[in-house]
Structure formats: structure tokens, C-alpha cells
Amino acid sequence: MGAAVATLAAIDLKINYGANVEYVTFGSPRVGNKAFYTFFHSLIQGFRIVHAEDTVPHWPKAISYSGYHHVNFEVWYTTSQKYKVCNDSGEDATCSDSVYGDSIDDHLAYLGKSTGCNNDDGPQMAALASL
């Protein structure tokens, strides 16, 4: 949900505050429809990073099923070190749209780093909770 909120925040900052926004998200779901993509793409420069078969970028399901459409172009990491820069259509069928995309594990690790909490994070999480 963080990447979806970042997408909405980027457009809000640009429209309401005139901010010069550069946009990068990790594992973003589809946020709007094709009209939103066109509007967003005309105002915001940036890209989305998708790791392997991360399930979240496949939500809601593809444009043909739901009307939802990704914003800007995708950089698809097939591994933590190999990637492909996709076209700027938002829905490049040769990138993450080419796989089923059902991996929660791929959503919880980007660029070789954990993006979620696990048992090793317990002491740090307890310390934060006590603040």
C-alpha cells in the first residue's frame, strides 16, 4: 500500500504545491485507470521497480479485466542484480506482465534487501515499540 500512497502523494504534491517530483516506487499495485496513467505520465517523471514475480504489481488484475493501469515505466528485476528497462506504456507485456506474479517472497525482498519484518527484526521492532 505504501507505493500506491506514494503515487497519490506525488500527483498531489505536483498539482497542489507545484513541487518538482521525481517518482520511484517498489512493488506498486495499479492505482488508477488509463486516463489517470495519461494524466500522471504528463506531469510526473519516474519509474516503478518490480522484483521478479512480486504479486502486488499484478493487483488489481490486468487492464483488460479491471480497467486499472500502471503509471510510468517499469524496471523489472528478474533477479536481485539483473533487470530490464521496460517501455513507458505502463503495461509492457514483455516485463512483469509476462509472468503469473504470485510471489509474496518477491514482494518482501528488493535489490537483495528485506522489505518486511521477520524474526531477525524482533529486537529492533521491540525497541521501536517501546518509544
Degrees to nearest 5, angle at CA 33 with 31 and 39:
90
User: What's the pLDDT score for residue 53?
Assistant: 95
- Classify residue 123 as exposed, middle or buried by CB count within 10 Å of its CB (0-12, 13-18, 19+): exposed
The pLDDT, as a whole number, for residue 69 is: 93
What is the predicted pLDDT for the residue at 82?
A: 95
Predicted TM-score of the model (pTM): 0.84
Phi first, then psi, for residue 41 (nearest 5°) are: -60, -30
CA-only gyration radius of the chain, Å: 16
Amino acid at 53: E
- In order of 3, 13, 23, 46, the CA distances from 8 in angstroms are 9, 9, 11, 14
Question: For 107, phi and psi rounded to 5 degrees?
Answer: -75, -25
Structure confidence at residue 125 (pLDDT)? 47
pLDDT of residue 79: 87
Show me where the domains of the chain are located. Answer: 2-129
Q: How far apart are CA 16 and CA 46, in angstroms?
A: 19
Structural class in CATH, domain 2-129 = alpha beta
Give 10-residue mean pLDDT values along the chain (131 residues): 94 97 95 94 96 94 76 93 94 94 91 73 52 51
CA 53 to CA 22: how far, in whole Å? 25
User: What is the reported pLDDT for 21?
Assistant: 94
